[in-house]
Amino acid sequence: MIHSEISHHRMASQKLYQENQCSPQEIVHHFGAMQAQDYAMAKWAIGSRCNSSEKEIEEAVNSGKIIRTHILRPTWHFVSPDDIYWMLELSAPQVKRLFATMAKQHGFDEKKFGQVNSAIEKLLAGNNHLTRDEIMKELNIEKSTGDLSPVIVMMNAELDGLVCNGKMKGKQITYALLEERVPRPKTKLSKEEALAKLALRYFESHGPATVSDFSWWSGFPVTICKKTLNAIELQLNQITIDNQQYWLKKGLLDEDNFRESVHFLPAFDEILISYKTREASFNTEHQSKVFTNNGIFKPIILENGKVIGIWKRTFKKDHAKIETEFFNETEISKKHIIFEGIKSFEKYLETKIIIE
Q: Is the pLDDT at 91 greater than 90, yes or no?
A: yes
pLDDT computed for residue 6 by the predictor:
93
pLDDT computed for residue 19 by the predictor:
62
Region 272-282: mean pLDDT is 91
DSSP state, residue 280? T
Can you tell me whether residue 177 is helix, strand or coil?
A: strand
pLDDT computed for residue 287 by the predictor:
82
pLDDT computed for residue 68 by the predictor:
98
Confidence band of 252 (pLDDT split at 50, 70, 90):
confident
- CA distances from residue 319 to 229, 313, 336 in whole angstroms, order as listed: 48, 10, 19
Q: Report the alpha-carbon distance of residue 267 to residue 286 in Å, rounded.
A: 16
Region 132-138: mean pLDDT is 96
Cis omega (within 30 of 0) on the bond before 183? no
Residue 236 host element (H or E): strand 236-241
Judge contact between 291 and 297, C-beta under 8 A.
yes
Paired with 237 in beta bridges are 248
pLDDT computed for residue 282 by the predictor:
84
Can you tell me whether residue 208 is helix, strand or coil?
A: coil
Instruction: Please state, for a pLDDT cut of 90, what percent of the chain lies above it.
Output: 80
Confidence band of 166 (pLDDT split at 50, 70, 90):
very high
Q: Report the alpha-carbon distance of residue 92 to residue 77 in Å, rounded.
A: 13
Q: Is the pLDDT at 20 greater than 70, yes or no?
A: no
Q: Report the alpha-carbon distance of residue 160 to residue 237 in Å, rounded.
A: 36
Burial class (CB in 10 A: 0-12, 13-18, 19+), 49: buried
pLDDT (tens digit per residue) in 70-79: 999 889 999 9
Q: What is the CA radius of gyration of the chain?
A: 21
